[in-house]
């Protein structure tokens, strides 16, 4: 859902293991115990605010009880101090469409990022979950630091425009200094504007929020659908609370065994693989591919375009100009879904003629910029959660040392991904761990779906997650497809497996391949 910063690393602390006692065994009147007894005041949803991306209030779904309802949930600012200050977490739901006697509970969605607003994303895809809605209330939320949930704010809109046009692949010492200074300025602005929340946006914090949410919604177990980063959040939850895992699906799976360097390298390979698949698809069409005569020609022409943009940006969305970095972001955004490949072709063809409008629009989508020039807090939240989770801090010398490996992984995306590793170098909050612990012995089965053509969370991560969850917990399913995730491909085999498990408790055979 977000620009390709390095994917996720998370942390567990000893205090996390105390949460079940804090919530289940507190003395009468303890504030932490009181939080589990909240009664959310559900009411009609307001229009999304700027941090959520703006837009109109969500339209009702067809049929009875199709109105979207919003509420807030109070959670401790600091889970190590549950008696202290609280923050409000924004929730959204639509009630089950089926008979109350067949209702299972609430199915909670996290759509990834990290930094994506679940309050705005769930209604956008709501109709796709009509079958799941027959037995579940559909619920999502803005995780802490995101959207309306104590959002992280950093630079203003004008500063963000300049930040995203900064050269992300420096070629000399002057450009490297400019990139480092831009990163420091962004990180300092985050500390100045959001210092109170920055230490408390780790994935372990969000997992504890998720368990509080489960209890407030009245479910004995967590029913969960995690996508992209949402799979890591779900894995950390399963580690902390294995006994309360209900039916859960992980789609577009983050590899929990990789540290940030390994994850960035894997993502470079993933986006290169997706670009190769796009190029092969384009030249295989009956009509002539307008951006190259062969797959290699497509790749070569894109590389030439990016080199030219590095020297001389072209007009984009006025008054901004399309830079090499913006074009790379736009190309990456188009690789998230095969449905976007036609836009990529149009954008490349247009850029070859000196017009960067389409590629810049795609980059704006990646960066959370609306047509009105206002940014959501997608990227600030993404950086804050990544940097709070990931312990390693990389220097320019580290990047220079690793560049040959990244360029071997991807001639197009390698430099971009490698230099992205300095994002957290000057972050105000120390990172918590090298990678997340998702081991969950004793948990109920979790369906783990990997897509062979996924650019952002490469397919290999699904097998790694299934293995890390533990024997009898992670159940791997492979989808031979393109784009980020599998469920939204509408593949019948994938949908049948997901519906069979979430609705009827039928666990598919491990190793199932679709189609």
**Residue 220 annotated to the active site:** no
Q: Would residue 228 show up in a list of annotated catalytic residues for this protein?
A: yes
Q: Which helix (H) or strand (E) holds 207?
A: helix 203-216
Q: How far apart are the C-alpha atoms of 114 and 172, rounded to whole Å?
A: 32
**Residue whose tokens read 């690789």:** 335
| Rounded-to-integer distance, Cα 313 and Cα 320, Å | 10
Report which secondary-structure segment, H or E, holds 468.
Answer: helix 460-469
* Catalytic-residue membership of 163: no
Between the CA of residue 203 and those of 242, 450, 451, 461, what are the distances in Å? 16, 22, 24, 18
Catalytic residue among 140, 365, 454, 489: 454
Q: How far apart are CA 446 and CA 468, in angstroms?
A: 12
252-257-263 Cα angle (round to 5): 65
- Contacts of residue 24, defined as CB under 8 A and 6 or more positions apart, other chains included, come to none
Q: Are 17 and 240 in contact (CB under 8 A)?
A: yes
E strand or H helix at 450, and its extent?
strand 446-453
Helix ranges, 420-459 (H): none
Most distant pair of Cα atoms in the chain: their distance = 73
Tokens of 345: 């072709």
Catalytic residue among 228, 264, 410, 464: 228
Q: How far apart are CA 233 and CA 110, in angstroms?
A: 8
Nearest-angstrom CA–CA distance, 55 and 120 = 9
Q: How far apart are CA 413 and CA 422, in angstroms?
A: 16
Please give the Cα distance from 492 to 515 (Å, whole number).
Answer: 8
Residue of 163, 200, 435, 484 with catalytic role: 484
Residue with tokens 């590389």: 303
* Beta-strand relationship, 321-322 and 314-315: antiparallel
Other CB atoms closer than 10 Å to residue 309's CB: what's the count? 21
Phi, psi of 46 (to 5 degrees): -75, 170
E strand segments, 25-104: 43-44, 69-76, 86-94
Handedness of CA 349, 352, 357, 358 (dihedral sign): positive
Q: Which residues contact 298 (CB under 8 A, 6 or more apart)?
A: 278, 279, 282, 283, 289, 291, 292
Q: What angle do CA 336, 337, 343 make, to 5 degrees?
A: 100
Distance CA 405, CA 408 (A): 5
Provide the annotated active-site residues. Answer: 228, 454, 484
């Amino acid at each position: 859902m977000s620009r390709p910063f390095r994917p996720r690393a998370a942390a567990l602390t000893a205090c996390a293991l105390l949460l079940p006692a804090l919530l289940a065994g507190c003395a009468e009147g303890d504030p932490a115990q009181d939080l589990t007894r909240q009664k959310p005041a559900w009411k009609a949803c307001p229009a999304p605010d700027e941090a959520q991306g703006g837009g109109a209030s969500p339209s009702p779904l067809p049929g009875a009880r199709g109105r979207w309802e919003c509420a807030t949930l109070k959670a401790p600012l600091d889970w190590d101090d549950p008696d202290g200050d609280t923050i409000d977490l924004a929730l959204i739901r639509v009630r089950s469409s089926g008979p109350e006697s067949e209702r299972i509970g609430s199915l909670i969605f996290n759509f990834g990022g990290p930094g994506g607003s679940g309050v705005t994303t769930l209604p956008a895809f709501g109709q796709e979950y009509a079958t799941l809605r027959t037995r579940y209330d559909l619920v999502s939320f803005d995780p802490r630091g995101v959207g309306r949930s104590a959002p992280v704010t950093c630079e203003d809109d004008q500063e963000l425009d300049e930040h995203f046009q900064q050269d992300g692949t420096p070629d000399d010492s002057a450009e490297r200094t400019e990139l480092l200074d831009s990163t420091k300025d962004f990180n300092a602005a985050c500390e100045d504007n959001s210092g109170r929340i920055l230490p408390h946006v780790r994935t372990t914090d969000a997992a504890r929020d998720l368990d509080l949410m489960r209890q407030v919604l009245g479910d004995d177990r967590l029913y969960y659908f995690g996508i992209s980063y949402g799979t890591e959040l779900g894995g950390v939850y399963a580690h902390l609370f294995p006994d309360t895992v209900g039916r859960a699906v992980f789609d577009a799976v983050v590899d929990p065994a990789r540290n940030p360097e390994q994850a960035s390298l894997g993502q470079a390979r993933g986006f290169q693989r997706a670009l190769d698949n796009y190029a092969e698809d384009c030249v295989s069409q009956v009509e002539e591919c307008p951006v190259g005569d062969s797959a290699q020609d497509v790749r070569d022409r894109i590389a030439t375009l990016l080199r030219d943009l590095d020297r001389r940006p072209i007009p984009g969305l006025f008054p901004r100009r399309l830079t090499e970095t913006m074009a790379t972001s736009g190309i990456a955004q188009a690789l998230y879904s095969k449905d976007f490949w036609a836009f990529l072709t149009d954008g490349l063809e247009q850029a070859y003629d000196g017009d960067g409008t389409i590629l810049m629009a795609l980059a704006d989508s990646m960066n959370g910029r609306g047509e009105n020039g206002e940014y959501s807090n997608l990227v600030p939240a993404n950086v804050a959660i990544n940097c709070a989770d990931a312990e390693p801090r990389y220097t320019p010398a580290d990047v220079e040392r690793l560049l040959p490996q990244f360029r071997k992984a991807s001639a197009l995306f390698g430099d971009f991904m490698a230099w992205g590793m300095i994002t957290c170098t000057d972050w105000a909050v120390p990172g918590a761990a090298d990678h997340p612990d998702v081991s969950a012995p004793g948990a109920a089965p979790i369906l783990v779906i990997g897509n062979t053509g996924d650019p952002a969370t490469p397919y290999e991560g699904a097998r790694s997650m299934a293995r890390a969850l533990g024997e009898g917990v992670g159940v791997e399913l492979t989808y031979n497809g393109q784009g980020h995730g599998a469920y939204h491909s509408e593949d019948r085999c994938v949908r049948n497996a997901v519906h069979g498990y979430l609705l009827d408790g039928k666990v598919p055979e491990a190793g199932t391949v679709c189609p």
